[in-house]
């Protein structure tokens, strides 16, 4: 069989002819590359492809000089701070003291990091060599270089895959400002987000709908977004409930006189989806000091965090902040979520509805309708819905609707009350008087009758009926507190008015202590008495609170405004 041998290796190493029964060795010889022939022999030995020639393979692979190649140039040598290119190791030493050394990128002069090749060399001094030829790498060195190459390829592929994945996905941080665990649904994923917790979720870029549900599967937030893959920090503050803040911290080389560290804060209560750039400290505390260039006198960094709430939850902390800063309209989503979590408990429903009404009648009607659906037996919530619909211009429609209900349920006091509440003027007063005669202990009818008597100036009857209402329901009577005080003062009975105000101020169930305090001070003003005496009668928490006294000072110059309590 004729064998191609462009490098005349068979003449140089006649023993190779015995191994030419292996096709891979034959192909290596035909390539003319002695290094390939050496590697083919090593592999044949490792895999026991030529069991009858194992001794010959061992002998040939232990003599790398046989497969040496002429130099193509001088290999790089030299080190910088113990890192550089060196000859390392010594094997197959000949009689002239030449040997085969590995050429490698090394640290500490002798520790190889990346093998680059092997050479036949002779040492001529301290790290000085005479170089004769190139030799194939030994088995360990060759496998190492192949491993490094494979690792680099794997890193490139992994990097490309990561870049591809990153370009199609975006990480979003979810914040739960409520005091119960929420279930999050997004892009086919379902995760539980603990009360007051935050969690990151990787989502595919594109148009998405994110849903947050309560324990009873009530949807409290639904976010429709076109999510973009970017380096921005994407935040979903569910229903805007978590007290998210961005702090700008300024560091100085020389501390300013006013403060050690200046901070500027932006509060994002009520905002549901946000994206931030250049946040150096997301949800971590910035250090006490940082390094800055020698030419800079100060440096500012930005931190994003959620305020830790000592009492209650983040949602109510946000609500207090919003009301204190005149931005309560931004908290409608939060208030609606709280109402849903409580199954539209009256106080939560009223907070959501009244806040929504500040900016949108239709939004207030929507929330009021939801509350009525969940609490169909709550007359107060249904009356609020009636008032809102009347404001929208649906008075005739409601008269027909509730009139029909009252007609088919003549013995149902609630149905009769809801219809009569829509009647105005003397007609409404007469109808309430009639209903009170039929249902004397129905508190809603009695309260509406008192309010109508107050409106029509019949203060004697109004106060007489209030005595009975106090007996039936103190909470309902307190809702007419302003009207009761007004009627008592109008009938020259200020001492009784003061007594009632004292009761309100000292009652744990009466919420608007400010209003009662302002009315008490106003009474003293009307009677020409020293208002300091009125202030001395206030509860200690009001009397010793400078801010509360400032509010009272502003209120006492105003006339008591009428309110709808029917």
- Tell me how many degrees the CA angle 435-345-313 measures, rounded to the nearest 5: 155
Question: E strands of 214-309, at which residues?
Answer: 219-227, 233-237, 244-252, 262-267, 273-276, 281-282, 298-306
Of 504, 458, 498, nearest to 480 by C-alpha is 504
pLDDT at 383: 97
Between CA 186 and CA 203 the distance in angstroms is: 8
pTM of the predicted protein model? 0.70
The Cβ-side half-sphere exposure at 401, using a 13 Å CA radius, reads: 11
How is residue 391 annotated by DSSP? H
Query: Which 3 state secondary structure label does DSSP give 349?
Result: helix
pLDDT at 259: 55
Between CA 249 and CA 420 the distance in angstroms is: 61
pLDDT at 263: 53
Burial class (CB in 10 A: 0-12, 13-18, 19+), 434: middle
pLDDT at 563: 37
Query: Which 3 state secondary structure label does DSSP give 289?
Result: coil
Between CA 397 and CA 389 the distance in angstroms is: 9
CA dihedral 155, 156, 157, 162 (to 10 degrees): 80
The domain segmentation of the chain, as residue ranges, is: 9-62, 82-165, 169-306
Question: Tens digit of pLDDT for each residue in 57-90?
Answer: 888 888 888 888 888 888 878 777 778 888 888 8
pLDDT at 294: 80
Of 395, 394, 371, nearest to 381 by C-alpha is 371
pLDDT at 543: 79
Residues paired with 173 in a beta bridge: 200, 235
Question: Tens digit of pLDDT for each residue in 357-416?
Answer: 999 999 999 999 999 999 999 999 999 999 999 999 999 999 999 999 999 999 999 999
Between CA 517 and CA 556 the distance in angstroms is: 9
Could you say which residues of the chain have pLDDT below 50? 260-262, 558-566
CB 325 within 8 A of CB 304: no
Of 35, 7, 59, nearest to 50 by C-alpha is 59
Between CA 360 and CA 354 the distance in angstroms is: 10
Of 333, 191, 353, 213, nearest to 273 by C-alpha is 333
Longest dimension (CA), the chain: 135
Tokens for 78?
């030299």
Residue identified by tokens 């509860």 is 539
Between CA 357 and CA 418 the distance in angstroms is: 22
Phi and psi of 222, rounded to 5°? -135, 115
Residue identified by tokens 């409608």 is 332
The Cβ-side half-sphere exposure at 404, using a 13 Å CA radius, reads: 5
CA dihedral 104, 107, 112, 117 (to 10 degrees): 0
Residues paired with 131 in a beta bridge: 121
């Amino acid at each position: 069989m004729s064998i191609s041998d462009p490098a005349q290796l068979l003449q140089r190493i006649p023993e190779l002819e015995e191994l030419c029964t292996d096709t891979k060795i034959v192909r290596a010889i035909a390539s003319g590359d002695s290094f390939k022939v050496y590697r083919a022999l090593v592999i044949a030995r490792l895999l026991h492809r030529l069991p009858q020639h194992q001794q010959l393979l061992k002998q040939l692979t232990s003599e790398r000089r046989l497969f040496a190649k002429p130099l193509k140039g001088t290999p790089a040598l030299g080190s910088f701070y113990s890192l550089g290119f060196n000859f390392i190791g010594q094997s197959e030493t000949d009689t002239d003291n030449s040997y085969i050394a590995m050429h490698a990128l090394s640290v500490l002069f002798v520790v190889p990091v990346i093998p680059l090749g092997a050479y036949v060399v002779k040492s001529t001094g301290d790290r000085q060599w005479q170089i004769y030829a190139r030799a194939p790498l030994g088995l360990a060195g060759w496998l190492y270089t192949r491993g490094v190459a494979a690792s680099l390829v794997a890193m490139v592929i992994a990097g490309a895959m990561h870049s591809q994945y990153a370009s199609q996905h975006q990480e979003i941080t979810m914040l739960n400002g409520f005091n119960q665990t929420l279930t999050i649904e997004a892009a086919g994923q379902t995760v539980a987000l603990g009360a007051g917790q935050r969690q990151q979720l990787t989502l595919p870029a594109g148009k998405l709908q994110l849903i947050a549900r309560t324990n009873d599967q009530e949807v409290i937030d639904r976010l429709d977004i076109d999510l973009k893959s970017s380096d921005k920090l994407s935040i979903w503050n569910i229903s805007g409930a978590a007290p998210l803040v961005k702090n700008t911290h300024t560091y100085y080389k020389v501390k300013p006189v006013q403060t050690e560290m200046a901070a500027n804060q932006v509060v994002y209560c009520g905002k549901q989806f946000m994206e931030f750039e250049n946040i150096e400290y997301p949800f971590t505390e910035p250090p006490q000091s940082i390094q800055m260039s020698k030419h800079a006198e100060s440096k500012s960094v930005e931190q994003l965090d959620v305020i830790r709430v000592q009492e209650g939850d983040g949602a109510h902390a946000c609500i207090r902040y919003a009301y204190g800063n005149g931005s309560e309209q931004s908290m409608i989503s939060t208030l609606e979520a709280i109402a849903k979590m409580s199954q539209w408990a009256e106080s939560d429903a009223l907070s959501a509805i009244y806040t929504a009404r500040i900016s949108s009648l239709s939004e207030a009607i929507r929330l009021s309708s939801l509350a009525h659906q969940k609490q169909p037996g709550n007359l107060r919530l249904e009356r609020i819905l009636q008032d809102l619909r009347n404001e929208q211009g649906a008075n005739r429609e409601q008269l027909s609707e509730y009139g029909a209900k009252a007609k088919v349920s003549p013995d149902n006091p609630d149905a009769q009350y809801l219809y009569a509440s829509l009647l105005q003027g003397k007609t409404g007063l007469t109808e309430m008087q009639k209903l009170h005669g039929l249902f004397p202990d129905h508190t809603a009818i009695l309260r509406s009758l008192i309010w109508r008597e107050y409106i029509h100036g019949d203060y004697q009857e109004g106060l007489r009926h209030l005595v009975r209402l106090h007996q039936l329901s103190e909470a309902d009577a307190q809702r007419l507190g302003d009207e009761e005080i007004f009627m008592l003062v109008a009938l020259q009975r200020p001492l009784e008015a003061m007594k009632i105000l004292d009761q309100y101020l000292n009652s744990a169930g009466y919420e608007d202590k400010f209003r009662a305090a302002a009315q008490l001070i106003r009474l003293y003003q009307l009677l020409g008495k020293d208002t300091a005496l009125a202030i001395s009668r206030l509860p200690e928490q009001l009397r010793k609170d400078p801010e509360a006294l400032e509010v009272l000072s502003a209120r006492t110059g105003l006339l008591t405004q009428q309110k709808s309590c029917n």
